[in-house]
């Protein structure tokens, strides 16, 4: 590895002769970096006769001494650079002020009790409350802030028994997807001895009499952070007994990649089994009848076993079952069938496919509440169970709505509304009167009247029209000077819809433009839109994003030196792919917890499940070549000037393992030639993102926004910036010495 001068500005500053407020963007002075040395191992893997070097494979082991040394050195370097950005403290202070507002979940009811979660503002985690009756004051039921001293053990999920007696709750340690389930007596607030280990991607389905529950788990792994997750099985746990005595209910050893989940019908007569494989929008739907004691009886009935579509049970009246599906309906529909004669000829269409995408649908009382997406924003309608339209709900604006949960016996339901400049407000909907009233409306120190969101459409490379939301301060003009952050995802049928976040609000206050592009691969326009951004068509997603960047520049909102891109997970792949394809187009890139090695992603934890979107390098030569063509780790070219880059990940992310980000950082730092820095920020007690504490989120946002201030070379509005320290040397990172080449690879 060639060695470049060590952060020349820091050396100059120690001599008292450098600017105390230097930029490192494309308009900045020349700043050179030396990066922690990463050993290049002689590792080559052959695919269809093509030898592909993988010199940084050793970084896939996050716990080796060599990797830990590299992590420490990278964090030291990143911390030293970020510490020199004078605006960072002011950004963190403003983030802390703006984050400090009450946040509630939509309430849910069970067994005559009402439950909701609440965060007072700066609590590390939201607290679960229960109200024992209509006139009872809420009391604390679960406070995750006491789960650990450092706030890194979080609440993963909850499930309340039908009679409202127990709450099962899942613990996540350090952001892991692995869950440990406990059970608490709601009346006494005391935990019981019941404990479930090695659950992952599973809920809890309570028996009708609350004497036990069904759950899914994997075999205990030897290496939780890396080992492939296969052979998920369904068990039944009897309350008061050890997990070792749990009854195996369902397993499919011939198909180890199939997963299973369970749910119990509200009338307690049916146990539904959802059988899926990966993230594809298809599943099998089976069921058992339950006897009077709530135990399975009779044969397992395979209602839908062709894996030809998605089937989700919404509710039932006796044997009449309401199901949402994408069968012959890529934008979604609802039909009803009778379990006594379920043949397709007897199905009854309840909500036929419409022009808009059916994002969610639920049965509450005797009504269907359908949330559809019209150009990536919510429209909500209430229907009778016969499909007759009863009401279209008036929403406060062009934004996102959701919730509408509840039982068939419910007399009301709750929902939320939010958009890019409106914090989530919660509403109560009275099923008898159809009246809507505000349940909780947060008070946030943010003047939303100063800002505006506009939706536009631009043309991608192949002529496809792509929606884009642009949020900005009203007085900002398209003069080409504006710092702009373009966000995208484009995968797994997940739509990006408007929503408020405190960190976005601070970016807007700083004078930034926030743009969200609704790329193919997402769920904005149904399954056809999704499939147009998958496998051999994945390049469409990157072309859509690049076209969005070019459109923002062409419209005069920004210029390349002032344009940053951001995305997480599959969005991290998006950012990594487009920044290596078009390094000239961006001033900064923020790839977060990204899938960045497309040839090996399926060999870790749950990565195999993403093949329905990505394909696998070993499935065909054509698929291998397509993946290799855009895989970020494999498309970093020596001598290329890449944008200022701050990769961010966590060293114990067990969904997208951190080796992706580690290898990308090493490759970029080796190949990059230019002034902007290529850095990596590595959380050491976090996972993929869920369960991060409030302080972790604030710290991360402060670092990202501070990095963009320097990378894009602008002076943010509305911040009181600390004066620079006089003639203090900046801390710098010493390079890591290359390891012995004979060490294990």
β-partners of residue 166 are 185
Assess whether pLDDT exceeds 60 at residue 209: yes
Output the pLDDT for position 654: 84
* 37 belongs to a structural domain: yes
* 92 belongs to a structural domain: yes
Average pLDDT score over residue span 7-28: 32
Assess whether pLDDT exceeds 90 at residue 85: yes
Q: Provide the residue range defining the domain that includes 592.
A: 8-97+446-712
List the one residue out of 335, 383, 326, 389 whose CA is nearest residue 358.
326
Q: How far apart are CA 179 and CA 160, in angstroms?
A: 17
**Cα–chain-centroid distance for residue 442?**
24
Residue 312 to residues 235, 271, 321: CA-CA distances in angstroms? 21, 13, 10
* 625 belongs to a structural domain: yes
Number of C-beta neighbours around residue 636 at 10 A: 23
Q: How would you classify residue 307: left for phi > 0, otherwise alpha for psi between -120 and 50, otherwise beta?
A: left
- For 168-177, 388-397, 536-545, which range has the lowest pLDDT when averaged over its residues? 168-177
List the one residue out of 600, 620, 627 whose CA is nearest residue 535.
627
Output the pLDDT for position 24: 60
Average pLDDT score over residue span 304-326: 96
**C-alpha dihedral (668, 672, 678, 682), degrees to nearest 10:** 20
Which tens digit of pLDDT belongs to each residue from 704-737? 999 999 999 999 998 877 555 433 233 233 223 2
Output the pLDDT for position 149: 83
The mean pLDDT value of the chain amounts to: 90
Q: Specify the CATH number for the domain of residue 636.
A: 3.40.50.1820
Output the pLDDT for position 431: 97
Assess whether pLDDT exceeds 90 at residue 426: yes
Assess whether pLDDT exceeds 80 at residue 362: yes
Which tens digit of pLDDT belongs to each residue from 553-588? 999 999 999 999 999 999 999 999 999 999 999 999
Assess whether pLDDT exceeds 80 at residue 512: yes
Output the pLDDT for position 1: 26
Sequence-distant (≥ 6) Cβ neighbours of residue 330 within 8 angstroms? 353, 526, 527, 528
Q: How far apart are CA 317 and CA 416, in angstroms?
A: 28
- For 107-111, 411-415, 658-662, 723-727, which range has the lowest pLDDT when averaged over its residues? 723-727
Output the pLDDT for position 720: 73
Average pLDDT score over residue span 583-600: 97
Output the pLDDT for position 733: 31
Instruction: Name the band, by pLDDT with cuts 50, 70 and 90, for residue 15.
Output: very low
List the one residue out of 201, 198, 206, 269 whose CA is nearest residue 237.
206
Output the pLDDT for position 246: 97
Which tens digit of pLDDT belongs to each residue from 113-138? 999 999 999 999 999 999 998 788 99
Assess whether pLDDT exceeds 50 at residue 408: yes
Assess whether pLDDT exceeds 80 at residue 500: yes
- For 9-18, 73-82, 296-305, which range has the lowest pLDDT when averaged over its residues? 9-18
Which tens digit of pLDDT belongs to each residue from 28-81? 433 567 899 999 999 999 999 999 999 999 999 999 999 999 999 999 999 999
**Cα–chain-centroid distance for residue 289?**
36
Output the pLDDT for position 723: 57
Residue written as tokens 């487009």? 578
Total H helices, total E strands in the chain = 11, 39
pLDDT above 70 as % of the chain: 91
Q: Are strands 204-206 and 412-419 parallel, antiparallel or unpaired?
A: unpaired
Sequence-distant (≥ 6) Cβ neighbours of residue 130 within 8 angstroms? 113, 114, 115, 138, 139, 141, 186
* 425 belongs to a structural domain: no
Q: How far apart are CA 508 and CA 499, in angstroms?
A: 14
* 742 belongs to a structural domain: no
Q: Supply the residues annotated as catalytic.
A: 569, 688
Contact (Cβ atoms closer than 8 angstroms) between residue 198 and residue 142: no
* 532 belongs to a structural domain: yes
Q: Which two tokens stand for residue 685?
A: 């007690």
Output the pLDDT for position 725: 42
Assess whether pLDDT exceeds 70 at residue 13: no
* 506 belongs to a structural domain: yes
Output the pLDDT for position 386: 97
pLDDT above 90 as % of the chain: 84
* 57 belongs to a structural domain: yes
Number of domains in the chain: 1
Residue 543 to residues 29, 455, 517: CA-CA distances in angstroms? 32, 20, 12
Assess whether pLDDT exceeds 60 at residue 19: no
Output the pLDDT for position 734: 29
Output the pLDDT for position 174: 80
Assess whether pLDDT exceeds 90 at residue 334: yes
Contact (Cβ atoms closer than 8 angstroms) between residue 356 and residue 370: no
Output the pLDDT for position 57: 97
- H helix or E strand, kind and range, residue 465: strand 465-473
- For 307-316, 434-443, 495-504, 728-737, which range has the lowest pLDDT when averaged over its residues? 728-737
Instruction: Name the band, by pLDDT with cuts 50, 70 and 90, for residue 12.
Output: very low
- For 128-132, 218-222, 402-406, 617-621, which range has the lowest pLDDT when averaged over its residues? 218-222
Residue written as tokens 């890529």? 330
Average pLDDT score over residue span 196-210: 94
Residue 358 to residues 154, 361, 377, 406, 414: CA-CA distances in angstroms? 32, 7, 11, 19, 19
């Amino acid at each position: 590895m060639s060695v470049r001068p060590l952060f020349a500005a820091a050396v100059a500053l120690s001599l008292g002769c450098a600017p105390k407020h230097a930029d490192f963007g494309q308009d900045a002075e020349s700043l050179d970096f030396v990066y922690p040395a990463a050993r290049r191992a002689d590792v080559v893997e052959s695919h269809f006769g093509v030898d592909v070097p993988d010199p940084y494979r050793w970084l896939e082991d996050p716990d080796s001494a060599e990797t830990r040394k590299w992590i420490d050195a990278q964090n030291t370097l990143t911390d030293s650079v970020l510490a020199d950005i004078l605006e960072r403290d002011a950004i963190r202070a403003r983030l802390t002020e703006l984050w400090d507002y009450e946040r509630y979940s939509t309430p849910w009811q069970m067994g005559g009790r009402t439950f909701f979660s609440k965060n007072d503002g700066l609590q590390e985690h939201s607290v679960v409350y229960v109200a024992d009756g209509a006139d009872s004051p809420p009391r604390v039921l679960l406070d995750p802030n006491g789960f650990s001293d450092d706030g890194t053990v979080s609440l993963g999920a909850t499930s309340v028994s039908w009679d409202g007696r127990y709450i099962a709750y899942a613990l996540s340690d350090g952001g892991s997807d692995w869950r440990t389930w406990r059970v608490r007596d709601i009346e006494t607030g005391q935990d019981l001895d019941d404990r479930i280990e090695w659950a992952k991607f599973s809920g809890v389905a309570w028996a009708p009499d609350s004497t036990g529950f069904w759950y899914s788990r994997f075999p205990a792994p030897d290496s939780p952070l890396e080992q492939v997750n296969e052979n998920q099985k369904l068990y039944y746990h009897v309350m008061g007994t050890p997990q070792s005595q749990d009854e195996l209910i369902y397993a499919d050893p011939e198909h180890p990649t199939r997963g299973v989940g369970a749910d119990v019908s509200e009338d307690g007569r049916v146990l539904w089994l959802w059988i899926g494989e990966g993230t594809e929008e298809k599943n099998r739907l089976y069921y058992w009848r339950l006897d009077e004691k709530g135990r399975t009886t009779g044969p397992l009935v395979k209602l839908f076993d062709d894996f030809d579509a998605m089937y989700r049970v919404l509710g039932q009246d006796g044997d009449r079952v309401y199901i949402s599906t994408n069968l012959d309906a890529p934008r979604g529909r609802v039909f009803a069938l009778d379990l006594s004669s379920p043949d397709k000829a007897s199905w009854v269409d309840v909500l036929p496919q419409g022009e808009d995408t059916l994002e969610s649908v639920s049965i509450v009382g005797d009504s269907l509440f359908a949330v559809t997406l019209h150009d990536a924003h919510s429209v909500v309608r209430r229907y009778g169970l016969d499909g007759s339209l009863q009401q279209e709900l008036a929403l406060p604006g062009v934004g996102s709505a959701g919730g509408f949960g509840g039982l068939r016996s419910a007399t009301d339901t709750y929902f939320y509304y939010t958009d890019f400049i409106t914090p989530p407000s919660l509403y109560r909907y009275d099923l008898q009167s159809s009246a809507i009233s505000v349940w909780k409306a947060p008070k946030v120190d943010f003047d939303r009247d100063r800002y505006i969101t506009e939706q536009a459409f631009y043309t991608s490379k192949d002529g496809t029209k792509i929606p884009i939301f642009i949020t900005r301060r009203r007085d900002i003009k398209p003069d080409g000077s504006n710092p702009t952050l373009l966000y995208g995802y484009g995968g797994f049928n997940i739509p990006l819809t408007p929503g408020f976040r405190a960190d976005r609000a601070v970016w807007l206050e700083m004078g930034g433009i926030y743009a969200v592009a609704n790329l193919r691969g997402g769920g904005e326009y149904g399954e056809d839109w999704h499939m147009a951004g998958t496998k051999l068509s994945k390049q469409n997603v990157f072309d859509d994003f690049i076209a969005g960047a070019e459109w923002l520049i062409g419209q005069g909102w920004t210029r390349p030196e002032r344009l940053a891109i951001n995305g997480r997970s599959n969005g991290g792949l998006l950012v990594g792919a487009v920044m290596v394809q078009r390094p000239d187009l961006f001033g900064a890139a923020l790839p977060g917890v990204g899938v960045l090695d497309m040839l090996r992603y399926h060999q870790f934890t749950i990565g195999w499940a993403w093949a329905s979107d990505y394909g696998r390098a070993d499935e065909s030569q054509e698929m291998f070549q397509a993946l290799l063509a855009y895989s970020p780790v494999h498309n970093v070219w020596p001598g290329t000037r890449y944008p200022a880059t701050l990769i961010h990940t966590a060293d114990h992310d067990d969904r997208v393992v951190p080796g992706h980000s580690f290898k990308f950082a090493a490759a970029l730092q080796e190949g990059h030639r230019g002034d902007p820095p290529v850095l990596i920020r590595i959380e050491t007690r976090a996972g993929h993102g869920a369960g991060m504490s409030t302080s972790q989120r604030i710290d991360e946002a402060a670092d990202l926004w501070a990095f963009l201030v320097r990378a894009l070379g602008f002076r943010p509005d509305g911040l009181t910036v600390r004066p620079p320290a006089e003639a203090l040397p900046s801390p710098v990172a010493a390079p890591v010495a290359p390891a012995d080449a004979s060490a294990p690879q």
